[in-house]
Amino acid sequence: MLFIEALNRASTQSNEKKLISRVKYRPTISNKDSVDLSSAAHQVKEIHLDSQAKTQLTASISVFANLIEHTLRHMINANLHLHSPEELNLDLKSWQLFLQVPPINAEKDKKVVGYITPEVHQRPPAKQLIFHIPVKPSYGIPVEMTLLVSPHNGSPETPDVFRTFPKESWLPVLRTPYPPEFLSQQITHHHIMLDQDGELDQLSPLYVHINQSRIINETNLPPQIFGLRIWKAKNNALTPIVLGDKQIGLLFVGHHKPLEGNIISEEERAKHASNLYTKA
């Protein structure tokens, strides 16, 4: 389970129950904490994550992260672990990660005039996937939450899982140390977007900073997570949530603020040897 230490601290705070009883939890989303793609729907943008530009991990963020980990384990059929930067001691270092955000709308089915497509076997169309997850508190009955997973429309290639998986799945119970009063205040439906457009070693700038003992068991990682990128979408804006890498595995970055960079043309994009960078 993700961020066990953070979860336990959050669930044992004496004043948290008082706060929950008075105020219903609502997510705080700022326009500055996401990348607005509406003005450049067909252009690639560059963003970067900075070690210093982040918010504190909270119990609510941990619930969201655990929903993602639980779902990915089912989708990929592997015992995956979603790391946090804090778990890997990355919060004690100075680093940056540069990412290229694909356009939010891509004309994948655009046909060239005068070109006749040869008759070939058509793959089934990609679809959104809905996962129903019963989230068990420390006592009492589970709270049902759902995670909607969509393919990123701007991605050049859609992962096969969106064609082969059933549209709806009911997952096993996700157990947490939270009291039922806390879980009942959480958002019960999330929507994320997924692509595999990242470099296989997209977290390589972090290798020298990581506490290697924390990833010593990350062997035989499934290739489906190499280059994996998960985004949180709302109001035509994207925020990176999870990045997958061939050495580290899965890293949760949802509490790091994406800083917007320049718009990149297709010609410039082709010249990029890597989409990652680290401070000297």
DSSP assignments along 24-72, one per residue: -------GGGSEE-GGGTTSEEEEEEEEEEE----HHHHHHHHHHHHHH
The residues near 244 (Cβ < 8 Å, ≥ 6 apart) are: 196, 198, 202, 225, 226, 227, 228, 229, 250, 251
pLDDT digits (tens, 9 = 90+) for 256-271: 998 886 554 455 545 5
Angle at 232 between CA 227 and CA 237, to 5 degrees: 110
User: Residue 200: beta bridge partners?
Assistant: none
155 — pLDDT class (breaks 50, 70, 90): confident
String of b and e for 78-110 (b: at least 16 CB within 10 Å)? Answer: eebbbbbbbbbebeeeebbbbbbbbbbeeeeee
Confidence of residue 186 (pLDDT cuts 50, 70, 90): very high
**pLDDT of 194 strictly over 90:** yes
If pLDDT is split at 50, 70 and 90, which confidence band does 157 have? confident
pLDDT in tens, 33-80: 444 544 444 566 788 999 999 998 899 999 999 999 999 999 999 999
Highest mean pLDDT among 118-122, 235-239, 240-244: 240-244
Positive or negative: CA dihedral 69, 72, 78, 83: negative
pLDDT of residue 2: 58
pLDDT band at 124 (very low <50, low <70, confident <90, very high): confident
pTM score above 0.85: no
The answer to whether the beta carbons of residues 213 and 92 sit under 8 Å apart is no
Residue extents of the structural domains in the chain: 31-103+126-271
